[in-house]
Amino acid sequence: MTLLEVSGIETFYGKSQALFGVELEVEEGEVVTLMGRNGMGKTTTIRSICGLNRPRTGRIAFAGTDLSRLPPHRIAQLGIGLVPEGRRCFPNLTVRENLIVSARPGKWTLDSVEALFPRLGERFGQYANTLSGGEQQMLAIGRALMTNPRLVILDEATEGLAPVIRDDIWAAIAKLKREGEAILLVDKTIDEILAVADRCVVLEKGKTVWRGKPGEFAADLQNRYLGL
Ligand code: ATP
């Protein structure tokens, strides 16, 4: 079943148009990556899906429900777990409290988040503002999982992290995929993206310009659309 369907959305910041027709789909259990150079509209697409920037035209449906009139908290309740760029957590709550405040019943619990990120488990009693950047990213992912979403959206989850922590995050994403989680992923590290993705969507100037399987995203396309 198609979990997320984005079709022809156009989104503005004031008078300035950022999206000019984004098309993408995520099926149950699928990892889809959204790619494109800086400023091409990846974060705006995610914000549109989550109700944070409402598209002026086009359609976004989640498990058959039209999201266009729903506020962000209702969209989250329907089962979209966002890990935003900049990994926002509550700095003055402990790691455990950060996880508990977003919890909803399901397979993701403190124990299963600890099993995914043992390093975070060792810090359950610490305040979030004492964590390293990588640990905060693990916490941000843990918080999204604790809502037991049907779709996890990760916006630049490995940006600015030390290589060893990046590896931990990619290993966790691979584990989520093996467990059948549906994931929409924005990231710039192409090899890791292509290793984990089932399908890729490329944006250019706010528009979907290429869709296909990672094996089809050949060097000339990577060069044309990502400048690699
Ligand atoms: P990056 O990889 O740099 O995060 P992106 O692909 O996520 O880029 P967006 O952040 O979605 O791109 O930006 C798409 C367009 O919208 C850009 O032209 C950007 O300048 C513009 N834009 C983004 N945020 C705002 C804002 N708050 N106000 C006005 N314009 C914005």
Q: Give me the DSSP letters along 98-113.
A: HHHHT--SSS--HHHH
Using alpha carbons, select from 228, 12, 131 the residue that is nearest to residue 141.
131
**Direct distance between the N- and C-terminal alpha carbons of the chain, in angstroms, rounded to an integer:** 34
Q: Which residue has 């941000």 as its token pair?
A: 140
Spell out the alpha helix ranges (H) of the chain: 42-49, 72-79, 95-101, 110-116, 118-121, 133-146, 163-178, 190-196, 219-226
Of the residues 40, 203, 226, which should be mutated to test ligand 1's pocket, given the most ligand atoms within 8 Å of the CB?
A: 40
- How would residue 34 be classed by pLDDT, with cut points 50, 70 and 90? very high
Residue 44 Cβ contacting ligand 1 at under 6 Å: yes
**151 touches 26 (CB < 8 A):** yes
Spell out the alpha helix ranges (H) of 17-71: 42-49
Residue 73 Cβ contacting ligand 1 at under 6 Å: no
Residue 40 Cβ contacting ligand 1 at under 6 Å: yes
Distance of CA 159 from the midpoint of ligand 1 (Å): 16
**Number of compact structural domains in the chain:** 1
Q: Is 118 exposed, middle or buried (0-12, 13-18, 19+ CB in 10 A)?
A: exposed
Instruction: Return the exposure string of 194-216: e unless at least 16 CB atoms fall within 10 Å of the residue's CB, then b.
Output: bebbbbbbbbbebbbbbeeebee
Residue 3 Cβ contacting ligand 1 at under 6 Å: no
Look up the domain containing 157 and give its range: 2-226
- How would residue 222 be classed by pLDDT, with cut points 50, 70 and 90? very high
**What CATH number corresponds to the domain at position 65?**
3.40.50.300
Average pLDDT over residues 188-209: 96
Given a cut of 90, is residue 215 above it in pLDDT? yes
Given a cut of 80, is residue 87 above it in pLDDT? no
Residue 11 Cβ contacting ligand 1 at under 6 Å: no
Higher pLDDT among residues 228 and 183, named by residue: 183
Largest pairwise CA distance in the chain:
49
pTM: 0.95
Distance of CA 157 to the CA centre of its chain: 8
Percent of the chain with pLDDT over 70: 100
